[in-house]
Structures are given as C-alpha cells and as structure tokens.
A and B are shown apart, each in its own frame.
Chain A
C-alpha cells in the first residue's frame, strides 16, 4: 500500500480482507450477522459502496447472484451455519457462472457449536459442496499478509473464471488485533471482468473450451442475457442432458482446472537434510512456523509446507509431499480433513496428524507430534528413502 508507507496500526485481519476486496473491485457486500464473521460485515458497512443487510443466508446469496448478473462484484462473510444454508445457492451461482466471494470464517461445530471458538472443520464440506464434485476454488490465508493478498487474488480469480470463490479462514485469524505495518502490503490491482467485446450476436454461455463465457451484464442494452441454474445450452435455455448441454456442464469443471493453474499457492521451506515435512494451512500455520523455529534451535531440521490454495489442491504440493519419508499434518479438527483430502482413506503409517478441537493448535502440540512421528516407521517408498515416485 504505497500511500501508507511504513504505517504501523493496530488492526485485525477482518479490516484487511474488506479493504483488499474493495481495492480488487468488489463493490457490494451482503451480510447476515454471525459470529465470528461479524467484524467483516461491520467494516463493510463503513467501506463498501453498497452494503445490504439480508434477512438470512439464503437471501444473502440470492441477492449476490442478482447483483453479479448485473455486473457488480458481491462479497459476503459467514460461518458454517450460514454457509450450510447457502449451499443450494452457491450451486446456483456456480451453474450460472457468477463471480462472487464468500469469506467463510470457521468456528467449532457440529451445528451451531461454539460461535466464539475457532476451528478448521469445513474443508471437506467445500470439497464436496458442488453437486457432482465439481471444484470450487478455495484459498486459505495463513497470516495477515495472506489475508490481504489472497483476498485480492480471490476476487481476480473469481472474475477470471466466472465462479464463486471461497476464502477459508477461522475465528482467531480475523478477530485478533495486532500491531501491523501496512507498508508491507503490496498494491492490489482492480480485477477485470471477462467482458464480451464483439459486435456480433451474443450467446451468454458460448465459451471456448475450458474457459468461462465472456460476460455481459443484464441491462447492457445491446444483447439479450439469459442466466440459468438448470442444465442449459449456450443460449442459456433449459435443456435435458443433450450433448451440447452436457458439454456446457463439463466445461464448468474444465474451466476451473485450467483457470486455477496460475493460482496454485503454497509456501515451502525445505530444511536441508530433513526427511520430515510439516504440512498445514490457515491459522495453524502460525503455530507451525513457531514449532519449526523451536525444533531448529534444538538442531532438528524439519521442512514446512503451508498450503494456501486448498482447492483444487496444488499438484506441485503433492509432489513435495512425496519427497518426504515422514509427514506431519497439523489442523484444528479431530478427524484430519486435510489428511483425508490428500490421502483419502489410505493414510500411510508414515503420516501423522496433529489434531485438536476447542483450542488453537500450539507449537508444543506440533513438537510433540514431531517426536511421536520420529519414533514411527518412515515411508520406504518416499523419494527421500530412494523410493520411486508412484
């Protein structure tokens, strides 16, 4: 933020996310109150050109869809109970190919759970949220800088692919205030809409393979725009499972797979000589960095992988995982959602989860996990052990 060179302020990340979203070109915020996402909503009231209070989360998403069809970029912030109500509408926006950003602030579940306790419990919900298993892009900030950069990135990616995008975070990340130097934050460019620019006839869902269709807003006054949540053809009319309509549906998957290639984000710090990799994301990354430092002070080298693009999962991050004989995965849930995303039901014996609910995972938890893992058998097939890539 060049105009704010070396400005230390006391801030929380909710404010950074809202500011970044506006700078990236978001112009409508629709809110329904829910802890721990309320600060985002309150800041939006002061910062967005338009902020509207909805009467529930289904309405929230539907208003956003309406705004998006007319060329506005909408944002909301919620937590699991609200997101659960949005599920059908997120599918609608996905099928209609409408850009929007949903900031999902995780809290302890199941259900209403505990509104003021953080968690990392929603990753696999997001993996399966689009009926049919289609990929919904999910970014997860691991510190204040990420909250800024990934928000800008999420708005841009959403517009580029014409798809809803989720910024997955959790309570402590957005509700903890810190003294922070704003000048560390890079400028954010306003993201561009994939606009239709030809004078020829327009079909709202006519697209190149693996790309979103060029966009024209409702009300453009030149071409008819039909938007459709059912299986549809290029003109946006409802069709049964005709070859054309199915090709359009297949394209939804292909455009995300292709479009996300330039957004595969992670931080990787390889410790020379280490055969152990610590993997984490989101708020737990702070504890992971601390744990790595402590272990290093005791002469123990351990590499760190902080994943920031959670969905689709970066193939390069998988390649890094394969290099290690032992893998430790730290996340604030009981069953190991990231672990399951990576290994499915076949977690190798050389992989250990550091899991916890009700409280942030601490550096001590991770150090203890590392010690336990060190006494376990390593993976004979890992590249570190000279094994083959499978």
Chain B
C-alpha cells in the first residue's frame, strides 16, 4: 500500500456535528483528528466505538471504522472488536452517564482485564442528550432537572475507580485545552494495555458556559514531582479536592489480556482441546 501523509482534516467525515455551538465535545473531536494525524494511523487501522449520548456521536464525525452502539455498552462492544482484530487500534468513547451509570459495571472488568484499547470518557457531569438530568459525576451544588434542589449523593470519581481496579494507564485532560488533550490521546493510544482518559468536556447548554471557567480555574498540571509509576502518587491525585490535576496520573507495565489469553489457548491446545476425537476420548465410557 502506498504511504500516505495524513493531516488532521483527513480524519474529518462529511457529517457536520449536531452538537450545540460551544459544546466541549468539539475540542475533543479536533484533538482526536490531530492525534490520529500525529500517529499517522491509517483510517482502516482504527475503530471508534461509542454508546449513546451527545459524546457518543463522536464516531460519526471521524473517517475511521465507527460504531454507535447502545447506551452504556461502548466498552464490551469495543472488547469484541479488539479481540477479533488485535491489529486494530480500538477507541471506546462514552459519556459520564453512559460509562459511569448504566455502563459502570463494565468499567472495573475492563480495567482488570487490561485489554489493549483506549477508553475516552467525555465527562460533562450531566446527561446532555436527554436534556439535563443528574449524572454520576454531578456535584452537590449543581442543580439539574431531576435534582432541582441539589445532589444528595456523592459523585463517582472515575479516576479512583480505574485505579482501584488496576487500569494500567490513567490520564486526565480538558477539552478546553486542545494541545494537552492531543498529547493525552496519543499517549493513551500508544500505551499497551487498557488506557483510561478522563476528559472533562463541558456541556454549555445544560450546565452552562461557566463550566469551562470552573474547570480552567481548578486545573493544575501534574508537574515533574508526580511519578506516574507510583501507585501512592496516583492515589494522592485521585483523592485531591479543590483542584483538578491534568496529565498522566498512572502508568504501569502489565501483561495484556491478549497475551495471557494466547498463553491459555496454548495450554488448551497442548491438552488436546479443540479436536473432536480428542474430546470424545474424555467422555469414553468403559465397556
């Protein structure tokens, strides 16, 4: 195949995004175009799998393989694709509702399995698509249509969740900082194993434009003193209050599910599984 030189716009599909003007998800999309171009990933080597939500519209806007699955199920569909086509770069995209509410059950399992795919969560702390109900990351003082007097439950901390279940790469970025987001997407894709990118991406319609300012005012860069290979450092970041650290929070070298599964397959082969005559022998009854 001839070598191609991809620029960001080569990844743009013909469909115009339906997002509200000013939606944070535009920043994510632009960053993704740039990251894919920097990685020079051919269109046919990438599959983007989403659930349902404003954030989950993303695959339609990128010129790669793309799926809109059902609400909450981006991760398991992505897993099927990755295991069937290990050579493909698989990116799962979900919203905070999609990924932390209805689809939350998949998250710890993906983390502990360490399948080599990238999980990007576009967190606006609201249900955007269904017009403004509370989400698992809605904070106490933020009223929503279904919690008009404020939240009476604590928000989920997705970084803690990923860390607790052994995700081998955890990073955070903000769609208002495209340059940083590009960097984080690239590193997440390059990491061998399950990588989780917590991407704060404001909903200007149901949370408001202030969400940009709020995130910006709380953002701090993880400086050089942060060691992403240290679990203790990572927990410190995960548990911080009053600020939001941006960057690679945790990174570990771990065998992937694919590698371990290959090994299990070899053991099965050595034991004679997969051969009908061999299997019959196991069930032979003494005459």
Tell me if B148 and A56 are in contact (CB < 8 A).
no
When distances are taken between beta carbons in the complex, the residues of chain A under 8 Å from B97 are 33
Q: Does B127 touch A at the CB level, under 8 Å?
A: yes
Interface size on B, residues (CB 8 A): 20
List chain A positions with a Cβ less than 8 A from chain B. Answer: 31-35, 38, 41-42, 45-46, 51, 53, 55-57, 81, 111-112
What's the Cα separation between A60 and B106 when bound, in Å?
A: 19
Q: Are B71 and A81 in contact (CB under 8 A)?
A: yes
**CB neighbours of B134 from chain A (8 A):** 53
Which chain B residues (207-248) contact chain A, with CB distance < 8 Å? none
Do A53 and B146 contact each other (CB < 8 Å), given the known contacts A33-B127, A33-B130? yes
**Residues on B with beta carbons closer than 8 Å to the beta carbon of A57:** 102
Listed by A's residue number, 19 A-B pairs whose Cβ atoms lie within 8 Å are: A31-B133, A33-B131, A33-B133, A35-B129, A35-B131, A38-B133, A41-B146, A42-B146, A45-B145, A45-B147, A45-B148, A46-B148, A51-B146, A53-B133, A53-B147, A56-B102, A81-B70, A111-B70, A112-B70
* Cα–Cα distance between A34 and B127 once the two chains are bound (Å): 10
When distances are taken between beta carbons in the complex, the residues of chain A under 8 Å from B147 are: 45, 53
Assess the A31–B101 pair: CB atoms within 8 A. no
Contacts of B59 in A (CB 8 A): none
Q: Which residues of the other chain, A, contact B71 by a CB distance below 8 angstroms?
A: 81, 112
Residues of B99-156 at the interface with A, using a CB-CB cut-off of 8 Å, are 101-102, 104, 127, 129-131, 133-134, 136, 145-148
Interface residues of B in 239-278 (CB under 8 A from A): none
Q: Confirm or deny: B62 has a beta carbon within 8 angstroms of a beta carbon on chain A.
A: no
Least CB distance from B275 to A in Å reads 38
Complex-state Cα separation, A306 to B68, whole angstroms: 38
- How would you classify the secondary structure of chain B's contact residues: helix, strand, loop or mixed? loop
Q: In the complex the two chains form, is B102's CB within 8 Å of A34's CB?
A: no
Per the bound structure, the CA–CA distance linking A56 and B106 in Å amounts to 13
Would you call the interface of chain A mostly helix, strand, loop, or mixed? Answer: mixed
Tell me if A55 and B102 are in contact (CB < 8 A): yes
Q: Is the CB of A56 within 8 A of B72?
A: yes
B37 at the interface (CB under 8 A from A): no
Q: How far is the CB of A32 from chain B (nearest CB, A)?
A: 8
* Minimum CB–CB distance for A51 against chain B, Å: 7
CB contacts (< 8 Å) of B68 on chain A: these are 112
List A contacts of B32 (CB < 8 A): none
Give chain B residues whose Cβ lies under 8 Å from the Cβ of A42.
Answer: 145-146
Contacts A55-B104, A56-B102, A112-B52; is A35 near B130 (CB within 8 Å)? yes
Establish whether residues A33 and B70, one from each chain, have CB atoms under 8 Å apart when the complex forms: no
In the complex, residue of chain B having the shortest beta-carbon distance to the beta carbon of A42: B145
Closest residue on chain A to residue B71 by CB atoms: A81
By Cβ-Cβ distance, the 4 closest A-B pairs, closest first, are A56-B102, A33-B130, A33-B133, A55-B101
Q: Give the distance in Å from the alpha carbon of A38 to the alpha carbon of B70 in the complex.
A: 18
A38 to B129, CA, bound (A): 11
